[in-house]
């Protein structure tokens, strides 16, 4: 029996840190079908662990589920919990990907962290787990490389 979700249909504050956040999962109603689910989070914020200044990014998470889906409200709360958390771009992007893989055990997952420039240089971070099943369409993440204005 699946555990009851903690957030769906209930008021829930943003957790104070990623360590305090709880991700929920729900059963995949199409376990017999390969498909890509995508979450785009255009206002991701994390604190630089050295300067304490905010860093901003667009996160794009694509995955091919097996038995479980990540529940979207809990994901939003988890991602927002990074706002006051100090982590380098690489650390938070890979940590998010690994936490999702541990929770839902997808056939395939990729995460792209497209960070806005600070100090004159953007940093983009990409991580994936598993292999995209044959015949499954995974579109480009749609976030262009940074170009100065």
Catalytic residues: 48, 55
Measuring CA to CA, which residue among 24, 27, 32, 28 is closest to residue 1? 27
In this structure, the number of other CB atoms found within 10 A of the CB of residue 6 comes to: 14
DSSP string, 22-56: ---EEE-TTTTS---EEEEEEEEEEE-TTT--EEE
């Amino acid at each position: 029996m699946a555990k009851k979700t903690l957030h769906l249909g209930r008021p829930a504050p943003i957790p104070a840190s990623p360590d305090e956040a709880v991700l929920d999962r729900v059963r995949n109603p199409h376990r017999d079908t390969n498909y890509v689910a995508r979450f785009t989070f255009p206002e991701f914020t994390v604190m630089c662990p050295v300067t304490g200044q905010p860093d901003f990014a667009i996160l794009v998470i694509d995955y091919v589920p097996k038995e479980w889906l990540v529940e979207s409200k809990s994901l939003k709360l988890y991602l927002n919990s990074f706002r006051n958390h100090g982590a380098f771009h690489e650390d938070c992007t890979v940590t998010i990907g690994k936490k999702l893989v541990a929770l839902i055990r997808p056939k395939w997952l990729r995460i792209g962290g497209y960070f806005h420039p600070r100090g004159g240089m953007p940093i983009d971070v990409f991580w994936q787990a598993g292999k995209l099943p044959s015949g499954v369409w995974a579109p480009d993440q749609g976030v262009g490389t940074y170009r100065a204005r």
